[in-house]
Amino acid sequence: MYSGKTVFAQLMDCLPWSTFSRLVVRYGGDYDVRTFPCVEQYRAMAFAQLTYRESLRDIEACLSAQPAKLYHMGFRGPVRRSTLADANETRDWRIYAEFAQRLIAQARRLYVGETLSVDLKETVYALDSTTIDLCLSLFPWAHFRSTKAAVKMHTLLDLRGNIPSFIHVSDGKMHDVHALDMILPEAGAIYVMDRGYVDFARLYGLHQAGAFFVTRAKSNLNAHRVYSAAVDRTTGVIADQTITLDGYYTRQDYPVHLRRVRFRDPITGKTLVFLTNQTALPALTICDLYKSRWQVELFFKWIKQHLRIKQFYGTSENAVKTQIWIAVSVYVLAAIVRKRLKLDVSLYTLMQVFSVTVFEKASIESVIFQSANGSEYVMDDNQLNLFGY
């Protein structure tokens, strides 16, 4: 893999470029393009993500500082900020969205054997969204409120390896619950989500598809108890009940029994009420499953801190979506490289090492080995342990 190549070139070699080429042809990405094809646009934007570039001018200046290495990085000539800006404005963002989805499929196969915080064989997903605030005057197409703009990133996170299996980028006004309409339910899988996704018609759709869900009950839930199971209150579980919905519309939307688990947090003393259609697992496991939902919150926090998705290089909808999808693909690429090379470091450390070694002619394993042995590349992060071991 090394063969005298830069670290950046080695990373790019891990990408399925034949798949990328087919997507470019499908969406006409290189139609009437003479000097800066989609593949070079992707490389430039991936370089910006890996090295935390602040702007198009920053990308241009950084690449221009190493002109002798550009060809070996996959560039046929200097990268101009105006050319890159035009490419982000005009090249169809769906090229990069579908490419990221192909990488996600690869990563999920690599991480299928990862362990969960809960001892289960089933696939567990966490569903949530994060809002990325924008300036209304610069991004009028993303109107959110009277004085601000925003986009939402709806994500279904596979908790084995913390790989996003589904992502949808919408304007800030789209309600979270509509993301359930875009997901193809997987029979036997468990979907964990907060109470913003409580829509009994949609939850019943998951139930009919053979999938399971775990969510929080709203305070105004109208239901009555049918049966109570015995519980061990020393674990924090204070009730495990089978219930039926009593609301006129809700009992039509969800006409079968639900399970309600009431849990009191021994640390905070707060009482939480969970709803699920999973009746076989112990009540405490249901509580632990909901606790694992925090992984998707950490995922959002991580990508906002370590990828360029809060400051954008363009203001159009196409440019914003292009940047977000390329950021996601770079994140997944790092996860793939980490697994394939069996690198015993966190993804945070891996990204930090890449950020300062992209121009180095050394194998990825050697630069990671240096960082693991106390080189200057090591940067510890005590806040986010999502990818640590």
Q: What is the pLDDT of residues 112-126, one digit of tens each?
A: 888 777 778 889 999
Domain membership flag for residue 27: yes
- The pLDDT-based confidence of 377 (bands split at 50, 70, 90) is very low
Q: Which long-range contacts (CB under 8 A, 24 or more apart) does 86-89 make?
A: 87/36, 87/38, 87/41, 88/41, 88/45, 88/313, 88/314, 88/316, 88/318, 88/319, 88/322, 88/323, 89/314, 89/316, 89/318, 89/319
Q: What is the pLDDT of residues 116-174, one digit of tens each?
A: 777 788 899 999 999 998 888 888 888 888 888 999 999 999 998 888 999 999 988 88
Count of CB atoms within 10 A of residue 84's CB? 22
Residue 85: domain span: 7-96+314-372
Integer Cα distance of 83 and 61 in angstroms: 14
The count of residues in the chain is 389
What percentage of residues in the chain have a pLDDT greater than 90? Answer: 63
Collapsing DSSP to helix, strand or coil, 12 comes out as: helix
Q: What is the pLDDT of residues 72-124, one digit of tens each?
A: 888 888 999 999 999 999 999 999 999 999 999 999 999 888 877 777 888 99
Integer Cα distance of 149 and 146 in angstroms: 8
Residue-by-residue DSSP string for 57-86 = HHHHHHHHT-GGGHHHHT-SS---HHHHHH
Domain membership flag for residue 194: no
CA distances from 41 to 32, 47, 156, 220, 387 (A): 15, 10, 27, 51, 29
- What is the tally of structural domains in the chain? 1
Domain membership flag for residue 44: yes
Domain membership flag for residue 154: no
Domain membership flag for residue 21: yes
Confirm if 221 and 198 have CB atoms less than 8 A apart.
no
Domain membership flag for residue 32: yes
Domain membership flag for residue 324: yes
Q: What is the pLDDT of residues 232-276, one digit of tens each?
A: 888 899 999 999 999 999 999 999 999 999 999 888 889 999 999
pLDDT of residue 12: 94
Domain membership flag for residue 331: yes
Higher pLDDT among residues 366 and 372, named by residue: 366
